[in-house]
Copies of this chain bind each other. A is one copy, B any other.
């Protein structure tokens, strides 16, 4: 059994659909069996509300939830009390935009990039409306990478936060995090990394990345939906006011007012997604047990082969950087005269699951001069057969559609 086949065997949906060529892991990665099993085991063996119960079931729920926090901390090389469970990346980014955003003053600057997903774009536009903060953009070059030459200008000394994606969800372009961090540190700004497109490719090290906030979603890294993680440096979280109000995030409530709990609970109002966090913990534990070097090598080789295959098809315009090692295994393309939805429809009829559209990155597509594009994204369960099937499928699609 090939390495990919051995991995696929652990993904129930892929096992149930052997003919499926799944190319949409950038939208949602398939769920690993251990994560699903952990959810089921939790709901059938330890379901109770957390944090407030002293009966055994509640203690078990509490232990499982806190163990998941430990897993997320290890996955990011961070401390457990710096891990906030959220509903997903979007919720995590909004949390920072609101709670850290409260500490900003009119005239302060927040820097994002033109390559951001709407989830790391709109919250800052909302903050701009709310607090008169200035929003500046790092432009992208024609290959979709960030224009590093602009950093000295864009990240000026009024900049308090630089919030960028670690990897574009459209072009796969990897951000040169070190360059961003250096430019931010020069002016004393904090750095937030949107890790939504990085976590499905292995554990991260926020200390080595030297950033201040990190956000990701469970459904992007083989775990359940409905859960995500915000990591923030302890001293930053400690200085931030809460975002949502409710049970669990308070010290005390009286009619006159309320006091805040310490982080991370300060940011986890209400009953959290308990079983989902437990499932995410299982997915992260599984990922931490993998040997990533060969997986990365395989993902890169498949990505290169895919680019190669697509390049041979007339009228296909590829987006994104060269060489393929400059990107996560995501390949987006445009075919002159054909609309991505039609392409995806004909590909689907051949068992190839791709997504077409603006991929929640309209400013990036506008910068790249396309209205919409078709995206193929790979994860560790993709194999040579997938990569061979796609160019052939596209040639056929062109035949059907033209």
- Whether A28 pairs with B49 at a CB distance below 8 angstroms is yes
- Whether B353 pairs with A217 at a CB distance below 8 angstroms is no
Closest to A120 in B: B246
Contact A24 B53, CB 8 Å, known A122-B250, A225-B276, A269-B94:
yes
Is the C-beta of A321 less than 8 angstroms from some C-beta in chain B? no
Is the C-beta of A168 less than 8 angstroms from some C-beta in chain B? no
Shortest distance from the beta carbon of A222 to any chain B beta carbon, whole Å: 11
Contact A245 B126, CB 8 Å, known A87-B87, A94-B269, A271-B88:
yes
- Residue among B48, B276, B345 making CB contact with A276, cutoff 8 Å: B276
In whole angstroms, how far apart are the Cα atoms of A123 and B363 in the complex?
Answer: 34
Residues of B within 8 A of A276 (CB): 224-226, 273, 276
Residues of B within 8 A of A117 (CB): 246-247
Query: What size tier do the contact residues of chain A reach?
Result: 35 or more
Residues of B within 8 A of A57 (CB): 17, 20, 22, 353
Residues of B within 8 A of A12 (CB): 43-44
- Residue among B17, B22, B31 making CB contact with A43, cutoff 8 Å: B31
Main secondary structure of the interface of A (DSSP, over half): mixed
- Whether A43 pairs with B48 at a CB distance below 8 angstroms is no
User: Within residues 241 to 261 of chain A, which ones have a CB less than 8 A from any CB in chain B?
Assistant: 242, 244-250, 252-255, 257-258
- Residue among B97, B118, B255 making CB contact with A247, cutoff 8 Å: B118
Contact A137 B255, CB 8 Å, known A90-B246, A118-B247, A355-B53:
yes
Shortest distance from the beta carbon of A194 to any chain B beta carbon, whole Å: 11
- Residue among B24, B48, B126, B242 making CB contact with A353, cutoff 8 Å: B48
Query: Which of A20, A88, A137, A270 has the most chain B CB atoms closer than 10 A to its own CB?
Result: A270
Is the C-beta of A72 less than 8 angstroms from some C-beta in chain B? no
- Whether B344 pairs with A245 at a CB distance below 8 angstroms is no
Interface residues of A (CB under 8 A from B): 12-13, 16-17, 20, 22, 24, 27-28, 30-31, 36, 39-40, 43-45, 47-49, 52-58, 87-91, 93-94, 97, 114, 117-119, 121-126, 137, 217, 219, 224-227, 242, 244-250, 252-255, 257-258, 269-276, 341, 344-345, 347-348, 352-357, 359-360, 362-363, 366
